[in-house]
Structure 1
Amino acid sequence: MDDANQPAIPFRFAFDGPLGRVLQQHAVADIAAARLSWKFKAYYRLRPWIPIALRQQLQRGRNRSLDAPADWYLPTRFIHDWRQAVVQTLASTPNQRTLHPWPDGFRVGTVLTHDVETRVGAKLAPALASLEEEYGFRSAWNFVPYKYKIDAGLLDDLRGRGHEIGVHGYNHDGRLFESQRTFEWRKQRINQAIEDFQSTGFRAPMVHRNLDWLQGLNVDYDASCFDVDPFQAMPGGIGSPWPFIAGKFVELPYTLPQDHTLLIALGENSPQVWIDKMQHLREIAGMAMLITHPDYLDTAARLNVYRQFLEYLREQTDLWHALPRDVAAWWRQRDQSSISSSGDSIDGPAADRGRVVAIDELFAASGCPTH
């Protein structure tokens, strides 16, 4: 990999050895690929003058041209490399043990998030939050600070109900990372919004990303990466379904397809793709992070798909349902902990909630030949 594509910030991943090298390889590859083409740069400059109907038509045309495979929501190249790394690890150290990714005996971390792109979406947020509360869930709501008027009362209401508030870019124009000068100017106002919203997390619009530049934000976590999503303007994907330490913050990748892609661009009418992806995440003990938008869950049919998925989640018994800030806090505890010399207990802040697990046991269900 060319030095220009190497991260300027230190990364620390969920696992060490051959497993860690695969995580590093795919993360660095994503940094190299996280660039907008000249066509998209031109599009975002012209976007304010393009009618919404034409924008949607252009997006549908691009999605059709991608010719994505049926299993597009699975990071197949990463899965292949990961299985090889598990085999290599067990061949050299058959009894290799590690810290389980998740606390309190759970198998999968599950995180619900929403990006609120418009004033209309903000008005729909309370009802969508109520739907989640019916099933016992709370979620994170990421608001765009300089696109529409922010209702401080709405933010207070959501916080009071146990939800989390995050910041979603600057004004959602697709130009946050157009140049470092642009980013540096906007960064000051984004940090002000982070303070005003009492936020600890950030997600860039359109999941554009530059983890080096984002170090300038006063956040504990960023959620702008993904494991795989071929429908995004900025291609790539880290492959990995686990958080990782990226410089000063924890990076939380989303791993379930976005609602706009699934329900609008592809026209799905059931949560089956989400459920199928959950099976992969369960096999690999990954994090299931979902992005939905109240702006797009604006019909009875789409809302019903989301309701069905919430019903599915409630029925599962091995999922840790957490807010992003809670996942980030846990991940720092895990990162600062280690396996004791005895090999069966934990030294460090994760000692009370974490557990030691054998690599072959952790990934036995993932299709890796562990014996």
Structure 2
Amino acid sequence: MTNSFADFWRSPGIAFVPDADPGRGLIINRDRVERLRRPVRMRLSPSLTPEWLRDEAARWVFLPSLATGPVKGEPLAWFVDQTREFPAILAAEGRVVFQFDPEEALDGLLFERYCRPARPYTTLLPFHYHVVPGDVRVAIHRLVKGVLSRFRRPVFPAWPMDGAVEMLREVVWRAFERLQGRQPRPSFWPDGKPYAVTLTHDVDTSEGYPQIPEFLAIEKAHGVTSCWNVVLRSCVAHLSVLDGLAGAGHEIGLHGYSHDNRLAFLEPEAMRRRFEACQGICREYGIRGFRSPSLCRTPALFEMIAERFDYDSSCPDTESGTGCCTVYPFFRSPSVTAEDRGSRIEDRDGRRPLPSSILDPRRDRPPLLELPLSVPLDSALIMRGYSPTRILRAWRAKIAWIRRVGGLAVVGVHPERHFSGNPGMLAAYDRLLDFVCADRGAWIAKPREIARWWRDQSGASGLKNGGSGLWVVGFGEVRE
């Protein structure tokens, strides 16, 4: 299963034909292609503009390359670059011609090839950063963010709503309809519901466990269950809490071996040892999903996750100049193989190829499914200095936008008192569930249910049984 436009829209007829083909179809112009590797604004004609974009003049998109060879036709979209505009998509004689490669642009966004997520400074400390009290850590983060924002304010992706991938998908779909006439759109969620919602909690430390009953009471009052992502080193002292969560129908996910934020940056063998130490708890609680501590992520980490889990939820749709730019699930295998792309499969600097095991969808295991963290984390908003009232407004606005787009709202909150385990934030969470549960258009489900549904609908339902089959009961330790 890949992430091509035909796969997403479940319409095999969506295909790009060679630009030398004289017939009808979607054409990619490959005349005088130049490498661009930067974000540009894209303005759409009314015929290509989805309803949720009607109020915006243009939207940023990252463009790996651009064809500069001339094409005659009616412009349907334009790239806006500083003081000039130039055609991005043109229609002529039964053809729609793209001046860029939509599949290449899609892969670049989904797999964050436009950026390189920074390594947190917390991984460089000679001690575990959790020895610093939570309130103090929040204050330090706010100070650091304030200083950095004076020097670096990324224009792409937009925050808190981006939708660059959704725009590309809509553009291709509407271009296809221009050639073939109106087409029935697929229903992405059960019973024709327009969008989905899943509730998740990241329990970073032992300090979060005393507040869990308060969250459970709120969720029980609303008739919903959630996923609790736990860290091995802190959860082993609270297994009775995990037993209670699982017994009440909640999902348990893995949030790493330690929340020192170093996992994604370890050498492969050290990374593997950490995952192996978590085998017992994964087996015991049927853990199918993973979220990386502090959302730290690297290609090597995704390779390890793919060997052991059915889904990952470590990548935001947009956050601090990074993210996958979509609020829909997607598979972590590109639309084409490395052999097909050749030199296009490379990092931002164009030098270091990504591992072929990640790039090649023809591997012997089902591809890893990504559930993007599409609603801003409570911690991210608190670090920005948001009050509980303002956080609730931000949550509701983002979920309302996701409803318009038709995607998946992944909510993430922390039970620690310096995040959401305090009266003000608990009240905000309660009101958020009021908002979500009052909407009959929302399919509210646990992440593993979302993942199972998406795989089944996408024809990639071959789920792994807990990974490599090496799970053993017991809780491990790691020597580093």
Write the distance in 1 (CA, Å) between the matches of 2:135 and 2:154. 23
Structure 1 gap segments, 5+ residues each: 1-8, 338-347, 350-371
Q: 2:138–2:383: 8 Å Cα contact kept in structure 1?
A: no
30-39 or 90-99: bigger deviation: 30-39
Match of 1:314 among 437, 453, 459: 437
- CA deviation profile, 1:239-273 (whole Å, cap 9, x unmatched): 11111223533211110011112245332332111
- What are the residue-to-residue correspondences of 1:91-170 with 2, within 5 Å? 91-170=178-257
Which residue number in structure 1 is paired with residue 326 of structure 2? Answer: 240
Write the distance in 1 (CA, Å) between the matches of 2:429 and 2:131. 32
Write the distance in 1 (CA, Å) between the matches of 2:402 and 2:130. 38
Is 1:336 the counterpart of 2:424? The answer is no
Which residue number in structure 2 is paired with residue 257 of structure 1? Answer: 376
Letter of the 2:310 partner, please give it: D
Write the distance in 1 (CA, Å) between the matches of 2:179 and 2:107. 20
Match of 2:317 among 209, 227, 252: 227
Write the distance in 2 (CA, Å) between the matches of 1:312 and 1:44. 44
How much does 1:47 deviate? 3.1
Which residue number in structure 2 is paired with residue 177 of structure 1? Answer: 264
72-81 or 271-280: bigger deviation: 72-81
How much does 1:167 deviate? 1.1
Match of 1:55 among 106, 126, 137: 137
Q: 1:147–1:172: 8 Å Cα contact kept in structure 2?
A: no
Higher strand share: 2
How much does 1:170 deviate? 1.1
Which residue number in structure 2 is paired with residue 353 of structure 1? Answer: none
Q: 1:108–1:320: 8 Å Cα contact kept in structure 2?
A: yes
Q: 1:227–1:238: 8 Å Cα contact kept in structure 2?
A: yes
Letter of the 2:325 partner, please give it: G
RMSD, aligned CA: 3.0
Pair 1:125–1:14, CA change in 2 (3 A) = farther
TM-score of the aligned structures, taking structure 2 as reference length: 0.61
Which residue number in structure 2 is paired with residue 369 of structure 1? Answer: none
Write the distance in 1 (CA, Å) between the matches of 2:136 and 2:382. 18
How much does 1:291 deviate? 0.5
Which residue number in structure 2 is paired with residue 197 of structure 1? Answer: 285
Write the distance in 2 (CA, Å) between the matches of 1:281 and 1:333. 22
- CA deviation profile, 1:117-166 (whole Å, cap 9, x unmatched): 11121121122111111011110011111235342221121122121111
Pair 1:100–1:120, CA change in 2 (3 A) = same
239-248 or 323-332: bigger deviation: 239-248
Write the distance in 2 (CA, Å) between the matches of 1:223 and 1:38. 19
Q: 1:110–1:321: 8 Å Cα contact kept in structure 2?
A: yes
Letter of the 1:255 partner, please give it: S
192-201 or 325-334: bigger deviation: 192-201
Is 1:26 the counterpart of 2:117? The answer is no
293-302 or 245-254: bigger deviation: 245-254
Pair 1:23–1:137, CA change in 2 (3 A) = farther
Pair 1:174–1:96, CA change in 2 (3 A) = same
**Higher RCO by CA contacts (8 Å cutoff, separation 6 or greater):** 1
Q: 1:116–1:143: 8 Å Cα contact kept in structure 2?
A: yes
Write the distance in 2 (CA, Å) between the matches of 1:120 and 1:46. 15
Letter of the 1:315 partner, please give it: A
Pair 1:110–1:148, CA change in 2 (3 A) = closer
